[in-house]
Amino acid sequence: MSAVDPAQVGDFTDQQHDDVEQVITMSTSPVPLLSMRGISKNFGAVEALAGVDLDVFAHEVVALVGDNGAGKSTLAKVIAGAHTPDSGLIEIAGEPTSIPTPSAARTLGVATVFQDLALCDNLDVTSNLFLGREVKRGGLRDDGYMEATARRVLQALNSRIPSVRTPLSTLSAGQRQAVAIARTLIGEPRIVVLDEPTAALSVGQTAEVLTHIERLRELGLAVILISHNMTDVRAVSDRIVVLRHGRNNGTFDAATTSHEAVLAAITGATVRSTPRLHALR
């Protein structure tokens, strides 16, 4: 089952590449694609986010890290339109905006892969990619068009899915993650939010997903990667934004910052490097 036909893998031509580039039209202005200022969100007495700032530019992967309960997923859900912030400003490509619902987020070009993969096991790959935004022609589903697009998007990600008609239930965890990421590419997104995309994946599958994330950056998207795994974060991200207790706790350049400095910011330790932090690795 897991054997992959070599002919279907990796023959991603420049022509197809161009097609995808055209589908995903990017603005490469110096203005951040997504800019959030002073975002706060309370759940009853619990202060999930308290004045968080976040900037993400096109062609950039920003990692959002923090301990459990630091507010990463809440912030992701605010960006995805699943939660409305209690206060704060959101600008997309310089335009002040609000994201009241998931479908509003989609219209604004924000696509999200949630931690608990929002996929339907009983449907095939194409159906999942287009779920909730099926393309119609004359009142009926245009399955042919959707399948063709599905294949193009999967190829753009260099993903190894045998067929777009494969039911999700027969795919591996890594392949499902690829489908979830490919889903974000349907409908001209500008900003992609990935909530723990490598959780529960094997080493090989993780590597595959990380390549997909790099492809998203190459395609010119602004990518927000939420992760626990510092190795993954350092492998793909350009900047690392640390959240702690619902507040910003430092932004680091991924290429130059030491592992320990980031860990210290996550745990709130003021000292840079201790043996205990090494042990945490």
Partner 1 sequence: MSTDTNLAPAMPSGEQARIPLSQRLSGLGGNARQYGIFAALIVIILLFQGLTDGRLLKPDNVVSLFQQNAYVMVLAIGMVMVIVAGHIDLSVGSVVALVGGIVALSITDWGLPWWVAVLLGVAIGAVVGAWQGFWIAYVGIPAFIVTLAGMLIFRGLALVVVSQTIRVNDDNFNSIVSGSLPNFLGFSGDMDVVTLVIGALTIAAFAIAQFRARMQLRKHDLHVEALGLFIAKLVGVAVAVGFLSVLLSLSAGGMPIILVIVGVLIVAYTFLMGRTVFGRHIYAVGGNRPAASLSGVRTKRVDFMIFVNIGALAGVAAIITTARGGAAVAAAGQNFELDAIAACFIGGAAVTGGIGRISGAIVGALIMGVLNMGLSIMSVDPSWQQAIKGLVLLFAVAFDLINKRRAGTS
Interface residue list for partner 1 (CB under 8 A)? 1, 82, 102-103, 106, 114, 116-123, 127, 131-134, 136, 139-141, 143-144, 147-148, 163-165, 167, 170
CA distance 15 to 32: 29
User: Who's near 215: CB < 8 A, 6+ residues apart?
Assistant: 156, 157, 158
Least separation in angstroms between CB 171 and partner 1: 13
Least separation in angstroms between CB 113 and partner 1: 10
Token look-up 């991200």 returns 237
Three-class SS of residue 213?
helix
Least separation in angstroms between CB 277 and partner 1: 36
In the bound state with partner 1, the residue whose beta carbon lies nearer, of 27 and 103, is 103
Question: How many angstroms separate the first and last alpha carbons of the chain?
Answer: 35
In the bound state with partner 1, the residue whose beta carbon lies nearer, of 55 and 196, is 196
In the bound state with partner 1, the residue whose beta carbon lies nearer, of 167 and 250, is 167
CA distance 220 to 23: 11
In the bound state with partner 1, the residue whose beta carbon lies nearer, of 140 and 255, is 140
User: Who's near 179: CB < 8 A, 6+ residues apart?
Assistant: 119, 125, 128, 129, 154, 159, 161, 168, 171
CA distance 114 to 184: 11
C-alpha distances out from residue 94 to 29, 151, 209, 231, Å:
10, 33, 30, 32
Least separation in angstroms between CB 175 and partner 1: 15
Least separation in angstroms between CB 172 and partner 1: 14
In the bound state with partner 1, the residue whose beta carbon lies nearer, of 224 and 233, is 224
DSSP 40-105: EEEETTEEEEEEEEEEE-TTEEEEEE-STTSSHHHHHHHHHTSS--SEEEEEETTEEE---SHHHH
Least separation in angstroms between CB 194 and partner 1: 14
Least separation in angstroms between CB 130 and partner 1: 9
CA distance 89 to 239: 21
In the bound state with partner 1, the residue whose beta carbon lies nearer, of 141 and 259, is 141
In this structure, are residues 61 and 80 in contact, taking their beta carbons and an 8 Å threshold? no
In the bound state with partner 1, the residue whose beta carbon lies nearer, of 77 and 239, is 77
Report residue 185 as tokens.
């590419």
Least separation in angstroms between CB 136 and partner 1: 6
In the bound state with partner 1, the residue whose beta carbon lies nearer, of 114 and 252, is 114
